[in-house]
Chains A and B, each alone.
Chain A
Amino acid sequence: METIVEIKNATIYQRDHLVLSKVNLQLDRGDFVYLIGKTGTGKSSLLKTLYGELPLKDGEGRIGDFDLRKLKRKQVAFLRRKLGIVFQDFELLTDRTINDNLLFVLKATGWKDKKAMNERMQAVLGKVGLGTKGYKMPHELSGGEQQRVAIARALLNNPDLILADEPTGNLDPNTTEEILNLLNSISKSGRAVLMATHDYIHMKKFSSRVIRCEGNSVIEESVNSAVA
């Protein structure tokens, strides 16, 4: 299996405050990994380090070709193009339609050919089951639909890694299940998915790796022990 993320002996700080130490983490193609832990234990900080929001000051870290220790401010945008990021509050551009949201990402990441862009947009919207809603504004969609748009957006540039920070935190149980199925099928298509969550009930559905943040460290657990 090809390794996509590799963190060794890393220490993660939120400004000067130590959040996690001795972090070791490896994600391979096809992995679907839950990241759990109480609020304030460093789940979001770990994800932020992975998408370049927090600098990695100690230890080693690599995502694809990017060395997180040597990551410069200007490279952050390019790192993020290799990732798909999905948030609890969707982070859609609220001032434009779904199509324009997707178009913005394509244009921002260097796509030029109009036809290719349209095809790509239709492909990802089809994948999340929103093929006919591209003309709508974000606020005209339900929470679950908005989250699916965010996932479609994350898929635009064929990323190897999807980072999801409590993507179901604002959704009802049925919708949560839909989103989980979607993310799981994405991991099966040859990407790694790392998902921070509180939702232990739905975790049982897929047997996958579980990582717990607790007392400044990151512990790898099995699904059953985590849920128990």
Chain B
Amino acid sequence: MASTPDKYAKRRARTSAFSTVIGISLVLFMLGILTILILNAQKLSNYVKESIRVEIFLDADMKEAEITRLKKEIETLPFAREAAYISKDESAKQLKEELGEDFMEFLDYNPLPGLIDLSLNIKYTHPDSISVIADGLESRAGVNEVVYSPNLIRQIETNINKIGLALLAFSGLLLLIAIALINNTIRLTIYSKRFVIRSMQLVGATSGFIQKPFILAGILQGLYSSFISILLILGVLFAVRHEVPDFFEFNDLIMFVKLFSLVALLGMIISGISTLFAVRRYLKMDASKIY
């Protein structure tokens, strides 16, 4: 015979556990989304860095064979990602398209030199490396001039750094908030159990024996929460993909496995440790203070 107050007590306990789980999942959800943003910021920065170009203008009297050899040589260098040869004629064509009129008509000849358009490996896109690379290339035979825009590169570099730093600081802050929020939620739950903890001590249970079920429940709670938050994150990802198909790639499985393991691990660790601290607080508390 289960009476009404019994049911009521059980329902109340369930509601409190449920709201704790929801609280933790929301915090983990925010952390997860932020991690995805950071990972994508990395991708964006790589994309920008990959588009940095160094233009190698060639001597006008260079022969095709020499050019091909130089291009091959440059391609084998460690910093080169891709090198494309753009001949005089092609340059002229491109410029014509850009200007919208035929400058050859009043010049009578093509003043543009042939050039090798070089893109760099990401590791070598720092402005300092580029200037060293440019100097090295310029000293080669057949190279007339090496052109790049140091200011633009520097600007990109500092902006990416700033954005990365801001994101990192923000996520650090969010992690702190997350820990504080979860800690608070759990402390409230344990607070409501302080008399139970006290009674357990009075009948001769050791601290370890009292702690164990609480901590296990805490870790389990963290695990449930991370499941919920992962579902939420997946929901958001699908929605975003629907709107912005290029935003990220779903086949990046390893990244998602890492991300979701991180969320689950964080959930369990924060929840478990918070429970431990909260329970120990009442285990050590003077009996007169718990009322």
Asked if A80 is at the interface of the complex by the 8 Å CB criterion, the answer is yes
- For the complex formed, measure the closest distance between the CB of B150 and the CB atoms of chain A, giving whole angstroms: 68
Interface residue tally for chain A (C-beta within 8 Å)? 27
A window 75-89: CB within 8 A of B: 77-81, 83, 85, 87
Of B5, B200, B201, B202, which is within 8 A of A140 by CB? B5
B window 36-81: CB within 8 A of A: none
Q: Provide a sorted-by-A list of 21 A–B residue pairs whose CB atoms are within 8 angstroms.
A: A48-B287, A53-B287, A74-B206, A77-B204, A77-B206, A78-B204, A80-B202, A81-B204, A91-B202, A93-B200, A94-B9, A95-B13, A104-B200, A104-B203, A108-B200, A109-B205, A137-B6, A137-B9, A139-B9, A140-B5, A153-B203
What chain B residues lie within 8 Å of A78 (beta carbons)?
204
- For the complex formed, measure the closest distance between the CB of B245 and the CB atoms of chain A, giving whole angstroms: 51
The answer to whether A94 and B195 have CB atoms under 8 Å apart is yes
- Residue of A with least CB distance to B192: A95
The answer to whether A95 and B5 have CB atoms under 8 Å apart is no
Against A, the Cβ 8 Å flags (1 = close, 0 = not) of B181-207 are 000000000000101101111111111
The answer to whether A91 and B204 have CB atoms under 8 Å apart is no
Asked if A51 is at the interface of the complex by the 8 Å CB criterion, the answer is yes
B window 76-109: CB within 8 A of A: none
In Å, the complex CA distance between A93 and B6 comes to: 14
In Å, the complex CA distance between A81 and B203 comes to: 7
Asked if B250 is at the interface of the complex by the 8 Å CB criterion, the answer is no
In Å, the complex CA distance between A153 and B198 comes to: 15
Asked if B251 is at the interface of the complex by the 8 Å CB criterion, the answer is no
What chain A residues lie within 8 Å of B6 (beta carbons)?
137, 139-140
The answer to whether B204 and A93 have CB atoms under 8 Å apart is no
- Sample of 12 more A-B contacts, CB < 8 Å, known A105-B205, A108-B210, A137-B9: A77-B205, A83-B204, A87-B202, A95-B9, A95-B196, A104-B203, A104-B205, A108-B205, A109-B203, A139-B9, A140-B6, A157-B204
In Å, the complex CA distance between A80 and B207 comes to: 13
Interface residue tally for chain B (C-beta within 8 Å)? 21
Total A-B contacts with CB atoms under 8 angstroms apart = 63
Asked if A23 is at the interface of the complex by the 8 Å CB criterion, the answer is no
The answer to whether A108 and B209 have CB atoms under 8 Å apart is yes
What chain A residues lie within 8 Å of B193 (beta carbons)?
95
What chain A residues lie within 8 Å of B201 (beta carbons)?
77, 80
In Å, the complex CA distance between A79 and B205 comes to: 10
Asked if B151 is at the interface of the complex by the 8 Å CB criterion, the answer is no
The answer to whether A91 and B5 have CB atoms under 8 Å apart is no
In Å, the complex CA distance between A51 and B203 comes to: 10
In Å, the complex CA distance between A105 and B210 comes to: 11
What chain B residues lie within 8 Å of A77 (beta carbons)?
201, 204-207
B window 1-47: CB within 8 A of A: 3, 5-6, 9, 13
- For the complex formed, measure the closest distance between the CB of A22 and the CB atoms of chain B, giving whole angstroms: 24
The 6 lowest CB-CB distance pairs between A and B, nearest first, are A108-B205, A80-B204, A81-B204, A91-B199, A77-B206, A105-B203
The answer to whether B195 and A51 have CB atoms under 8 Å apart is no
Mark B residues whose CB is within 8 Å of A.
Answer: 3, 5-6, 9, 13, 193, 195-196, 198-207, 209-210, 287
What chain A residues lie within 8 Å of B205 (beta carbons)?
77, 104-105, 108-109
What chain A residues lie within 8 Å of B210 (beta carbons)?
108
Asked if A92 is at the interface of the complex by the 8 Å CB criterion, the answer is yes
- For the complex formed, measure the closest distance between the CB of B99 and the CB atoms of chain A, giving whole angstroms: 83
In Å, the complex CA distance between A153 and B209 comes to: 18
- For the complex formed, measure the closest distance between the CB of B285 and the CB atoms of chain A, giving whole angstroms: 11
The answer to whether B5 and A139 have CB atoms under 8 Å apart is yes
What chain A residues lie within 8 Å of B202 (beta carbons)?
51, 80, 85, 87, 91
- Residue of A with least CB distance to B284: A73
What chain A residues lie within 8 Å of B13 (beta carbons)?
95
- For the complex formed, measure the closest distance between the CB of B190 and the CB atoms of chain A, giving whole angstroms: 13
What chain A residues lie within 8 Å of B203 (beta carbons)?
80, 85, 104-105, 108-109, 153
In Å, the complex CA distance between A75 and B205 comes to: 11
Against B, the Cβ 8 Å flags (1 = close, 0 = not) of A85-129 are 101000111110000000011011100000000000000000000
A window 152-187: CB within 8 A of B: 153, 157
In Å, the complex CA distance between A81 and B209 comes to: 14
What chain A residues lie within 8 Å of B5 (beta carbons)?
137, 139-140
A window 55-89: CB within 8 A of B: 74, 77-81, 83, 85, 87
The answer to whether A108 and B198 have CB atoms under 8 Å apart is no
